[in-house]
Amino acid sequence: MTLQTSDRKIALVTGGSRGLGRNTILQLAKRGVDSIFTYHTNEAEAQQVVQSVRDLGREAVALQLNTADTSSFDGFAQNVRQVLAELGAKRFDYLVNNAGTSHHNSIEQTTEEELDQLYNVHFKGVFFLTQKLLPLINDGGRIVNISSGLTRMSIPGSAAYASMKGAVEVLTRYLAKELGERRIAVNTVAPGAIATDFSGGMVRDNAELNQQIAGMTALGRAGLPDDVGPMIASLLSEDNRWVNAQRIEVSGGMLI
């Protein structure tokens, strides 16, 4: 049966070629949602995600984007319009601002260049990409901004990264307020320590660190992508239509 255009739901996920972004796209596909997603440099990896979505009977389109480069956002928005037209739609329904980079350094040793890079990716990029895409989001849609458990728990070496994520959490509340008249709900999802390739895969690949995290987590283990992707997909669904302007931590009860 051919899906009617009016019934089709489309998500746009930044940083969708790996980790939590990839898992979110696959979980959305299982719920009947098609995706447009961005990757930074690894096109082959992105195309593997496209194929995995197609294997689930849905559609996905990968677009290259450096989320730190705000000068490219007008062109990217135009590319999104073109892809939407190819999918038989004028707008998309869900935006997940997931793309990000890690950073580990003390306040004393963090350089201005490092801080600027984090700002460009984790706050400035999120702010202005969302701004550019607002005309393309359906009224009644959803936005999820990915933050971090590190905005609640203070772990030395994470100050610069966590500060940018804290700014995103404030932005989330303001977006929810300003977009309320369009019935667009905006929430923050804050993962705890998750075993992915983020930060060089240190939670996934360092057995000692993994066990340390398990010992400080109420549910007794480090997180997995399958702990987070389904939660994001659920938050975007109608089941959670009345959840708005919230920070939802997905950490298994880490450091409580």
Q: Enumerate the active-site residues.
A: 147-148, 161, 165
Nearest one of 51, 93, 66 to 233, comparing CA atoms: 93
> Closest Cα partner for 123 from 163, 180, 94, 174?
163
Provide the edge-to-edge strand list for the sheet that holds 60-64: 60-64, 33-39, 9-13, 92-97, 137-146, 185-191, 247-250
Whether the Cβ atoms of residue 171 and residue 145 lie closer than 8 Å to each other: yes
Under a CB-based contact definition with an 8 Å cutoff, are residues 11 and 58 in contact?
no
Query: For the chain, how many residues are written?
Result: 256
CB 197 within 8 A of CB 19: yes
H-helix segments, the chain: 19-30, 43-55, 73-86, 112-119, 125-133, 159-178, 202-205, 207-215, 225-236
